[in-house]
Amino acid sequence: MFHAGLLSAQDDFFERKYNVLFIVADDMRPTLGCYGDERAITPYIDNLARRSIVFKNAYCQQAVCNPSRASVLTGLRPDENGVTDLVTHFRQKIPDVVTLPQAFKNAGYTSIGIGKVFHGSKRTLDSVSWSVPSLVQSFTKQDEYYLPENRKGNAKAASYEFVAEQDDDYPDGKIANAAITALQQFRESGESFFMAVGFNKPHLPFCAPRKYWNMYEGSDFSKMSHKFKPLGAPDIAFHQWQELRGYSDIPKDGAIPSQKEQELWRGYYACVSYVDTQIGRVLSELERLDMSENTIIVFWGDHGYHLGEQGLWCKSTNYELDTRIPLLISVPDITDKGSHTSAIVEALDIYPTLLELCGLKSHHRLSGKSLTPLLENPNCRWEGVAFSQFCRPYEAITKQHPTHMGYTVRIPGWRYVAWYDLNTGSVVNTELYDLKKGNIELHNLSGDKRYKKVEQKLHSLIDAYYSKR
């Protein structure tokens, strides 16, 4: 089961029982210094990157919280675990599945979840995954705000708020506090642990202490590029930013005023820096307790995000900005010098990777594949493709019963999307994008005879994927 190269490189690699610190941020695209974003102020994640493998081309399986997290935590694709919306619990479809934290619990680890690990609603939590009840859960919009005027009822209020002084005036600071306390308890008890820490930000509303807003004073976001839809893209690929428009200071239709755009961009980046600091606090405590040399660290974002590019805000598409995620994996004695890989990988590869690194066996067939060869040699030969999907109409993510599903495949240099009518099984729209010069779709080349062979190749991959659903 184990990768021979890793075993020969480190004779005692599998003799130690590694702890796992599993960190996820909500709605965080690769807006990080270690991914080349010059605006981002993210020193703590960047420092983690220096002792990790940075996966430059990692992709989620569906660009919205519940399906993405269910996919990673079950090791199965959305069509396999039955979760393609925000309300379905995977145990409704596959009741006996063993989740990633549950696999560690079954192997004798203390498995603990802090913050938003599974989707952040009461109906989508999973108590059987944990050794103890989940900690620091936020279920209402009230929990996201500090100002009394924004905490009225359970409705969305302002799209951003930067007024509080202390990090733990907002939930993510409390999540970091709980994680630090848990690490101290594990140090005292000597238990082996799988600890998942889920931060809420930079998810809307953009709320954090004012010092993070002040970090970006004077930053010019006016040159955010590619604000137009890809030429020739079908209407079904888009939505009306319903998630953003629900906030009280956002127009119900039409364009967002330029000043408000500047505020939203600044707010998103400020929340990224807020999460970065909370992660830094947790990692600093891990170091202080002399636990880092025996702890595998995984940091990932549950999906990407649009900030006005391609005429879109938030997530819920099959495009690069929504499906591409940050993924860092740090393994003691293996990744200490830090490196990066351009290999195309999937978020559901995390599950089998952690099992292999810790010498555990899977309780069911996993759809991802272990990334351990890339951890040993980031430049090794890697036949990687990434599949993602999204439903339409947009409202199906809360009301269920989609009529169409768009399936996308990403290979080096290309993205292809096929939109299926779920009633007939027929393909109603296709999209083909050349991404060799940049990670954003500009011109739909589907149907162009010059690209017939590549389109046929990619369509065959999607068709085989769809036929297995």
Write out the chain's pLDDT in tens, 469 residues.
Answer: 223 333 333 444 444 589 999 999 999 999 999 999 999 999 999 999 999 999 999 999 999 999 999 999 999 999 999 999 999 999 999 999 999 999 999 999 999 999 999 987 777 789 999 999 888 777 678 889 999 999 987 789 999 999 999 999 999 999 999 999 999 999 999 999 999 999 999 999 999 999 999 999 989 887 777 889 999 999 999 999 999 999 999 999 999 999 999 999 999 999 999 999 999 999 999 999 999 999 999 999 999 999 999 999 999 999 999 999 999 999 998 988 889 999 999 999 999 999 999 999 999 999 999 999 999 999 999 988 999 999 999 999 999 999 999 999 999 999 999 999 999 999 999 999 999 988 899 999 999 999 999 999 999 999 998 877 7
What pLDDT does residue 9 have? 36
State both tokens at 210.
């004012």
Please give the DSSP secondary-structure letter assigned to residue 135.
Answer: B
Q: What are phi and psi of 391, to 5 degrees?
A: -95, 160
Burial track 191-212 (b if 16+ CB lie within 10 A, e otherwise): ebbbbbbbbbbbbbbbbbbebb
Distance CA 94, CA 365 (A): 13
Catalogue the active-site residues: 65, 119
What pLDDT does residue 48 have? 98
Distance CA 469, CA 461 (A): 13
Please give the DSSP secondary-structure letter assigned to residue 443.
Answer: B
Q: Please say whether the beta carbons of 232 and 443 come within 8 A.
A: yes
Q: By three-state DSSP, how is residue 152 classified? A: coil
Locate all alpha helices (DSSP H) within 215-344, ordered by sequence: 242-245, 258-288, 320-323
State both tokens at 312.
């879109």
What pLDDT does residue 50 have? 96
Q: Please say whether the beta carbons of 163 and 156 come within 8 A.
A: no
State both tokens at 392.
């339409």
What pLDDT does residue 139 have? 65
What pLDDT does residue 414 have? 98
Q: Is 454 exposed, middle or buried (0-12, 13-18, 19+ CB in 10 A)?
A: middle
Q: Please say whether the beta carbons of 432 and 458 come within 8 A.
A: yes
Q: How do residues 101-122 score in pLDDT, each as one tens digit?
A: 999 999 999 999 999 999 877 7
Helix H, strand E, coil C: the string for 297-319 is EEEEECCCCEECHHHCEECCCCC
Distance CA 319, CA 310 (A): 9
- Of 391, 432, 443, nearest to 409 by C-alpha is 432
365-368: long-range contacts, CB 8 A cutoff, minimum separation 24: 366/75, 366/76, 367/75, 367/76, 367/77, 367/80, 368/75
Distance CA 174, CA 281 (A): 12
Q: How do residues 336-386 score in pLDDT, each as one tens digit?
A: 888 999 999 999 999 999 999 999 999 999 999 999 999 999 999 998 899
Give the count of beta carbons closer than 10 Å to the beta carbon of residue 33: 17
What pLDDT does residue 130 have? 96
State both tokens at 161.
């708020």
Distance CA 347, CA 358 (A): 18
What pLDDT does residue 16 have? 56
Q: Please say whether the beta carbons of 407 and 462 come within 8 A.
A: yes
Give the CA count within 13 Å in the CB-facing half-sphere of 463: 9
Region for residue 381 given its phi and psi (left: phi exceeds 0; alpha: psi -120 to 50; beta: otherwise): beta
What pLDDT does residue 432 have? 98
